[in-house]
Structure 1
């Protein structure tokens, strides 16, 4: 299932975000420049040819998808896999990880032996997961599933990074700490080129999560924001996945234990 939503309050809810593999828009000024440049390029001869090539590639992919058989996928290594368990959200995130491994294996079905299994009247055809599937899944999971480890939604994280960079630049000019710099919403809008609605909503969330302090207005002056800390705020990475080398070691140890018990 694919769900497309605008940037709304629901996008900030961690529980809601955990239900999907989230793909968010890059709202930076640099990305806008890249998009505008690409739009101009599309009207050149090279751009027209590239569009035709792209359509051909999409047709090829559609044909390849139609060739895939609805086979079951069996993971013979699943008992040796691990996943982070520190947070409640990981109960749902592990399903995504296992599905990612299965999807990679399914896409390679024409390079795999199709096996059959029968229990009573039920018979299934399946392909097995290989170590290369897990290696690729681990690589992709860091980028795709690792975003779920961030307590901030991607657009809010982007706003915070932009504010932090602005505070650093101002701090260097004034010879003060970055956390002592105060910015109004107008200054943040000018720095990020984002709308007033975005700045108000995202700053409110950053204050609630204690990434920013909001200093209330007095004597008719506008409210200002400042960093809650000078410390770098790093997104928690996806730690705890079993690497292929470690998996091979576990398989060898399991084989030795099995042989010794005979």
Structure 2
């Protein structure tokens, strides 16, 4: 929990699609069909891109229009992370930005654009979704796979042993997941007449999708506010400043 408060957590993609991609890559590597030189060049390009970046201040003129959804856990810290993430995107695009000079301090800087914010929102939606969740990432993955199984089998209830066999989950691991899900009201126990085993039922199969839509809507509303606003120009570009200096001389 402490890590989730202080940082953006990266989760391993444990989906079947990712497993398929990894195994396909492993088979191609074993068959000697990978272009190793192309991979080396890609790594070198990334290294060189990092080397040419220069220290320069980033100012986000739209920062006051950016508000996170109320559902985000620890919004104060997450808000700071969100703004820093946008700044990082602008920083990496410094050679695509016009350098400006602060008229009061003379300090050079670059400005965040609306496109930078849109890219940040697209990349950060999954992170905000996870930070808004009340269960752990592993438990969430289990719940989503469980929902897929129930939809595929056209079922509304399930037994623990049934899901353990289908999803290949250890009994102790599943017990921990079910404890979280019951405590946070994601699933409930139901007793079917004539059956000895307890069955479980997912309370709201669409809750995660609804949360994702709420976060996406909130981020889009920020962009709408920005597009309908007028942000004042607080500086002159480096080119304009040099021109004015020459004219004065």
Task: Provide the TM-score with structure 1 as the length reference.
Answer: 0.72
Once the two structures are superposed, the pairs formed by residues 5-154 of structure 1 within 5 Å of their partners are: 13=1, 16-47=3-34, 49=35, 51-85=36-70, 89-117=74-102, 124-154=107-137
Give the drift of 1:17.
1.8
Match of 1:211 among 186, 202, 221: 186
Structure 1 unaligned blocks of 5 or more: 1-12, 256-262
Give the Cα separation in 2 of the matches to 1:43 and 1:202: 37
Give the Cα separation in 1 of the matches to 2:123 and 2:186: 29
Contact in 2 for aligned 1:100/1:137 (Cα 8 Å): yes
After TM superposition, the runs of 4+ consecutive aligned structure 1 residues lying more than 4 A away are none
Give the Cα separation in 2 of the matches to 1:225 and 1:125: 64
Matched, 1:240 2:218: yes
Give the Cα separation in 2 of the matches to 1:232 and 1:79: 32
Once the two structures are superposed, the pairs formed by residues 153-192 of structure 1 within 5 Å of their partners are: 153-169=136-152, 172=154, 178=156, 181-184=157-160, 186-192=161-167
Give the drift of 1:156.
1.0
Give the Cα separation in 1 of the matches to 2:177 and 2:40: 38
Partner of 1:4: none
Contact in 2 for aligned 1:29/1:193 (Cα 8 Å): no
Instruction: Give aligned pairs, total.
Output: 224
Give the Cα separation in 2 of the matches to 1:230 and 1:113: 49
1:42-100 superposed Cα distances (whole Å, 9 cap, x missing partner): 122322x1x33122111111111011112111112222333324556222221122112
Task: Provide the TM-score with structure 2 as the length reference.
Answer: 0.75
Q: Secondary structure at the match of 1:210?
A: coil
Give the Cα separation in 2 of the matches to 1:159 and 1:88: 21
CA RMSD of aligned residues (A): 3.0
